[in-house]
């Protein structure tokens, strides 16, 4: 009798996603090998031999989280070899590939069925794994629509963490230089209009009409694909806000416009923080089957207006 229902083989770069899968598997009653949970047991052991035992013998299935990092890492190569050795002698499928990207995995047959994780939440994957090992999974609970929206938003926002960190550090890629005052002022005015459209667009995405379109009218279930679309578009607009700020930070201008552009770039700070706080609060509520999709974005343009007045009067 195997010790684990599944072992999870993944690269450290994908740990955030896999950790959520592991947590949901525990909630579903699925036994799994996830390295962080067994650090004390692994301490001092010959890891090559111990992990070979786990990935070759001690698990019913091996869920292989494929990514570019997964293929090039040394330890995942050892895990992968052990899993494929087991698969060669098993009468049933053992390796269950799931993909973050299209990286080719040596020894994995081209026709092997896989799950694409680019639009699959950790909760959804955990439920599929549970079904694969034969664990009963309850049907949708009241408020599942909120949970699905929250899971998708959280998953896609996590992929923007590097870009968010660059924003916090004030980093940006060089943009086309604006060499004249007229170019700089025209660009600033155009980007200001874009900022208003982004902020208003984010709020509009959560309007009552859009909510009913995705979540369904009162007393009726929502539409999964529409909920995904709404969540994906919400995160796309959040990313546009990050890109908008990066554009201003990275655009060289005549010296007297530099402060205006840098000050304007900081306009995104408040809406970004408000969106992130909303997402965290909504995630907590969705776990209780509740949801409040009211988001109010605000910002103080006074510093930007003061700088604009300076460049227009000097």
Alpha-carbon dihedral 226, 232, 234, 235, rounded to 10 degrees: 170
Q: Distance between CA atoms of 271 and 279, rounded to whole angstroms?
A: 12
> 164-198: string of b/e by CB count within 10 Å (b at 16+)?
bebbeeeebeeeeebeeeebbbebbeebbeebeeb
- Average model confidence (pLDDT) across the chain: 92
Tokens coding 93 = 């499928």
The average pLDDT across 115-124 equals: 95
Confidence of residue 276 (pLDDT cuts 50, 70, 90): very high
Whether 288 shows a pLDDT value over 90: the answer reads no
Q: Distance between CA atoms of 115 and 99, rounded to whole angstroms?
A: 6
Confidence of residue 110 (pLDDT cuts 50, 70, 90): confident
Residues with Cβ < 8 Å from 196, sequence gap 6 or more? none
Which tens digit of pLDDT belongs to each residue from 34-92? 987 566 566 556 566 788 999 999 999 999 999 999 999 988 999 999 999 999 888 77
Q: Write down the pTM of the prediction.
A: 0.89
Residues with Cβ < 8 Å from 85, sequence gap 6 or more? 56
CATH 3.40.50.10140 residue window(s) in the chain: 4-133
* Superfamily the domain 4-133 falls into: Toll/interleukin-1 receptor homology (TIR) domain (3.40.50.10140)
Instruction: For 41, list phi and psi in degrees, rounded to 5.
Output: -70, -35
Chain centre to alpha carbon of residue 18: 12
Sign of the Cα pseudo-torsion (208, 212, 215, 216, in order): positive
The average pLDDT across 182-191 equals: 97
The kind and range of the H/E element at 240 are helix 224-250
CATH 1.20.1420 residue window(s) in the chain: 144-313
Q: Kindly provide the residue ranges of all beta strands, DSSP E only, lying in the chain, ordered along the sequence.
A: 4-9, 32-33, 59-66, 95-99, 115-116
CATH number of the 144-313 domain: 1.20.1420
What share of the chain has pLDDT > 70, as a percent? 96
Which tens digit of pLDDT belongs to each residue from 123-157? 999 999 999 999 998 888 888 999 999 999 999 99
Chain centre to alpha carbon of residue 188: 31
Q: Distance between CA atoms of 201 and 232, rounded to whole angstroms?
A: 13
- Per-residue confidence (pLDDT) for residue 47, from 0 to 100: 65
């Amino acid at each position: 009798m195997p010790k684990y229902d599944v072992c999870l083989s993944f690269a450290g770069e994908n740990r955030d996603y896999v950790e959520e899968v592991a947590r949901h598997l525990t909630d579903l009653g699925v036994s799994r090998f996830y390295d962080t949970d067994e650090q004390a047991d692994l301490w001092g052991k010959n890891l090559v031999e111990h992990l070979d035992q786990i990935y070759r013998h001690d698990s019913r299935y091996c869920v292989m989280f494929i990514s570019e990092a997964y293929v090039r890492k040394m330890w995942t190569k050892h895990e992968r070899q052990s899993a494929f050795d087991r698969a060669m002698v098993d009468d049933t499928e053992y390796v269950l590939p799931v993909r973050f990207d299209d990286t080719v995995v040596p020894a994995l047959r081209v026709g092997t069925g896989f799950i694409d994780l680019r639009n699959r939440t950790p909760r959804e994957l955990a439920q599929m794994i549970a079904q694969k090992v034969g664990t009963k999974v309850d049907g949708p609970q009241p408020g599942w629509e909120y949970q699905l929206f929250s899971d998708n938003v959280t998953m896609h926002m996590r992929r923007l963490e590097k870009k968010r960190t660059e924003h916090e550090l004030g980093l940006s890629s060089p943009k086309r230089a604006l060499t004249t005052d007229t170019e700089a002022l025209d660009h600033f005015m155009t980007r200001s209009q874009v900022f208003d459209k982004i902020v208003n667009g984010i709020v509009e995405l959560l309007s009552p009409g859009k909510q009913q379109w995705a979540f369904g009218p009162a007393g009726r279930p929502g539409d999964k694909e529409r909920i995904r679309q709404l969540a994906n578009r919400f995160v796309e607009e959040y990313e546009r806000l990050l890109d908008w700020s990066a554009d201003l930070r990275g655009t060289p201008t005549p010296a007297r416009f530099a402060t205006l552009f840098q000050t304007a770039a900081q306009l995104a700070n408040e809406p970004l923080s408000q969106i992130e706080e909303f997402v965290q609060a909504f995630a907590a509520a969705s776990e209780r089957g509740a949801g409040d999709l009211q988001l109010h974005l605000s910002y103080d343009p006074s510093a930007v207006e003061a700088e604009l007045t300076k460049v227009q009067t000097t």
